[in-house]
């Protein structure tokens, strides 16, 4: 059972006022009607009634608040809503998460969001990278924490004779612009299924890496299978899982990993049934 927040508030005040009025009544009646001492039973009855009122008030306050934004799908979002910082406020997701914009990037629940709806600004350059950015592209200029996790992942894979390597890491806004144009010239509109417009690529954030062949065939290799099953243990997600193209805006990319940290990665891994960031936070991925 659930009630909306205002109903709970009103009911709790009504019960509180009722309880105090009866207590006041009992108090005055007891002290100003000394002749009626023999009616002790009545006092006891009123007293029990007051206790019951306070008891029910407590029960009402324990009733769950109805969440009007609950979605009819299997994604459960358990994290508490962050407080809104009015300076950075950029909207709310369909699941009630606050979207913030700071330093040229969008954040939901402190996770950097980049897709077809949410872009990085032209001059966004990741700061805390493993190696300093000095070029348009760089495979080691990845977010420091992400890169250290990547090294653990690479070593663990190597220990079982699997060879995984970064084929593409950081890409600048300008580089992505050229890459996208090249892909559009080659494949026309289909390019939008695998290539992002400048500003809309996760590679500009320093939080994404492309592995090995950067090809759909990667999924069927031993490396691809291991990555799909184990990346979340290092805080990475398969950002564009299969059968989620309508949601992410991209066809399946088994080679493209995005670092989100252990906590969210485990939730999105979802025992092998990958959930997208779009589903989890309740956002779209569509160019305006």
Q: Which is nearer to Zn ion, 210 or 223 (CB)?
A: 210
Nearest-approach distance from CB 222 to Zn ion, in angstroms: 21
Report the residue closest to Zn ion, judged by CB.
256
What are the Cα distances from residue 164, in Å, to 115, 171, 211?
Answer: 25, 20, 7
Nearest approach, Cβ of residue 228 and Zn ion (Å): 15
Work out how close the CB of 173 gets to Zn ion at its nearest, in angstroms, rounded to a whole number. Answer: 15
Shortest distance in whole angstroms from residue 245 CB to Zn ion: 15
Of 98 and 277, CB closest to Zn ion: 277
Q: Which is nearer to Zn ion, 50 or 209 (CB)?
A: 209
Distance CA 215, CA 155 (A): 22
Residues in touch with Zn ion (CB under 5 A): 210, 256
Closer residue to Zn ion, CB minimum distance, 98 or 114 = 114
Short-list 178, 165, 182, 288, CA closest to 224: 165
Q: Report the alpha-carbon distance of residue 183 to residue 189 in Å, rounded.
A: 9
């Amino acid at each position: 059972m659930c009630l909306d927040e205002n109903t709970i508030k009103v009911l709790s005040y009504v019960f509180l006022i009722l309880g105090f009025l009866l207590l006041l009544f009992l108090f005055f009646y007891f002290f100003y009607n000394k002749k009626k001492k023999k009616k002790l039973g009545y006092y006891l009855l009123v007293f029990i009634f007051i206790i019951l009122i306070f008891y029910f008030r407590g029960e009402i306050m324990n009733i769950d608040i109805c969440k009007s934004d609950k979605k009819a799908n299997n994604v459960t979002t358990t994290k508490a809503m962050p407080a809104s910082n009015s300076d950075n406020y950029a909207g709310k997701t369909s699941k009630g998460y606050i979207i913030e914009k700071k330093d040229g990037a969008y954040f939901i629940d402190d996770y950097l969001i980049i897709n077809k709806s949410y872009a990085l600004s032209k001059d966004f350059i990741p700061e805390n990278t493993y190696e300093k950015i000095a070029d348009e592209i760089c495979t080691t200029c990845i977010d420091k924490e992400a890169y250290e996790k990547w090294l653990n992942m690479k070593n663990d894979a190597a220990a079982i004779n699997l060879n995984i390597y970064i084929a593409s890491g950081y890409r600048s806004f300008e580089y992505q612009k050229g890459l996208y144009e090249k892909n559009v010239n080659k494949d026309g509109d289909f390019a939008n299924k695998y290539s992002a417009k400048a500003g809309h690529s996760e590679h500009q954030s320093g939080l994404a890496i492309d592995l090995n062949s950067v090809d759909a065939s990667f999924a069927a290799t031993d490396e691809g299978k291991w990555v799909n099953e184990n990346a979340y243990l290092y805080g990475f997600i398969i950002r564009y899982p299969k059968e989620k193209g309508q949601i992410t805006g991209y066809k399946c990319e088994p080679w493209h990993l995005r670092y989100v940290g252990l906590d969210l990665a485990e939730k999105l891994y979802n025992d092998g049934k990958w959930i997208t960031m779009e589903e989890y936070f309740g956002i779209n991925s569509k160019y305006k």
